[in-house]
Structure 1
Amino acid sequence: MTENAPWNPVVLFSKPEEERAGTPLLVLFHGYLANEEDLMGLAAYLPQEFTIASVRAPLALGPGFSWFPLMHEPDYSVDRVVNAVQDVSDWLDGIKEAHSSVTLLGFSMGMAVASTLMRHRPEEFAAVVGLSGFVVPAEGNGFFHDEELAELKVPFFWGRDQADPVIDAPRIEYTHAWLNGHTKLTKVLYAGMGHSINMQELGHVKEFLAHTVLGSR
């Protein structure tokens, strides 16, 4: 993650390399203080046609990793988000041509990564799934191509608990308004789920991916 060296992330894949060519790619972005193993358990509940790639965030922190500082911390900035997502975008450039499509899925902070990547290159992604997460304000940063995205209306699944104890009300309100204005939004609430993922939600995500990505191939 230096100016001269490309980022070489730790990535877990659901299929061996010889079985990935021509498959749709689903990239997973974990939440704050987790790692690339955190979301790979979802693979068994998602359409098997996908090659799933779970990416480790770049910043070692506590028991896990973070994509950028938390939004209320003094060292948070949109530039920190952009730098992390630019590295992911550059990494994706090296593998996406082997796949029939690219779809993104992020949990919590990982939803901010997935949505920012979609906002940077809206035309490149078949769909995006955001679970118990949020989107970040662009603050005029040219990395975000939100006007282009608003025209394309990329399909976006957003699942969460109305009483999520982690994502605060202002971020939820901003995220809801932003997704309504820029994406083809499917929004589902799951009572009693908390800041997590449940089996009902996984079933809905599987249906969403099958319909929006596999059904259009």
Structure 2
Amino acid sequence: MSDLQYLVRKPKKTIENPPLLILLHGYGSNEQDLFSFAEELPDDFLIVSAQAPHSLGFNSYAWFAINFDEINGKFSDLKQAKESLDMIALFIDEIKEKYKTDPDKTFLLGFSQGAILSYSLSFFYPNKVQNVIALSGYINDELLPESISKEIKTNYYSSHGTVDQVLPIEWARKSKPFLDNLGFNSTYSEYPVGHGVAPQNFFSFKKWIEERL
């Protein structure tokens, strides 16, 4: 059992095997955050918003710790990140089984830390999800398998704010060349915002999702 807490929005119409959208929030947030998108997304979806396992207090959670020291500056707890990655992979399988979702239409949407893990999960667990929406994140070189399968068919949508002061735009800009180099299908866009999702960004990824349903 993955033991992750989560919120569910069931499809608004009766569908035997609905497409699945999993939401992964960012550092210091909780499962309520991205769930605010749910009502605006396609009625067919079973939407599940997962809460990260590590409590930071005051209803804030993280998928992995971000530590600070005088020598290394800011750095990620990669052991925790990999543990969360495995937990999310198991969680996806459990949700698919429990709700009998369409195995060929699994979408994984992550923001910030959730986006970092969404990328990594698609590489460590090839084709477990068919579509990744990575908002305000980047591909962390330290969270990659030794070799990335050439059989991955996952589609990627990435976006970032040009004035993001949390995760620099330069980090995000490396994602599309990285994915293109592997021959993967990817879309990348930028918006004149900070570490957040602009309205036009929301409508952009909503359209991208609808085209793949």
TM-score range relative to shorter protein: 0.7 to 0.9
Distance 1:189 1:22 in 2: 34
State whether residues 132 and 195 of structure 1, in contact with CA within 8 Å, keep that contact through their aligned partners in structure 2: yes
Percent identical among aligned pairs is 27
Task: State the superposition RMSD in angstroms.
Answer: 2.5
Which residue, out of 2, 20, 24, partners 1:29? 24
After superposition, residues 1-217 of structure 1 pair within 5 angstroms as 6-15=1-10, 21-63=16-58, 64-70=60-66, 76-97=76-97, 98-100=100-102, 101-138=105-142, 144=145, 146-148=147-149, 150-168=150-168, 171-182=171-182, 183-191=184-192, 193-212=193-212, 214=213
Query: Cα offset for 1:186?
Result: 0.5
1:3 aligns with none
* Residue identity opposite 2:164 in structure 1: D
* Structure 1: stretches of 5+ with no match in the other structure: 1-5
Distance 1:30 1:11, change over 3 A: same
State whether residues 160 and 172 of structure 2, in contact with CA within 8 Å, keep that contact through their aligned partners in structure 1: no
Distance 1:85 1:29, change over 3 A: same
Distance 1:155 1:40 in 2: 22
TM-score by length of 2: 0.84
Aligned residues: 202
State whether residues 15 and 44 of structure 2, in contact with CA within 8 Å, keep that contact through their aligned partners in structure 1: no
Distance 1:169 1:94 in 2: 35
Distance 2:189 2:20 in 1: 24
Distance 1:190 1:41, change over 3 A: same
State whether residues 20 and 51 of structure 1, in contact with CA within 8 Å, keep that contact through their aligned partners in structure 2: no
Give the strand-richer structure, 1 or 2.
2
Distance 1:20 1:118, change over 3 A: farther
State whether residues 121 and 145 of structure 1, in contact with CA within 8 Å, keep that contact through their aligned partners in structure 2: no
Distance 1:198 1:169 in 2: 15
Any idea what the Cα deviations from partners look like across 1:67-94, whole Å, max 9, x if unmatched? 0022766773433211111011112222
* Residue identity opposite 2:163 in structure 1: A
Distance 1:114 1:34 in 2: 16
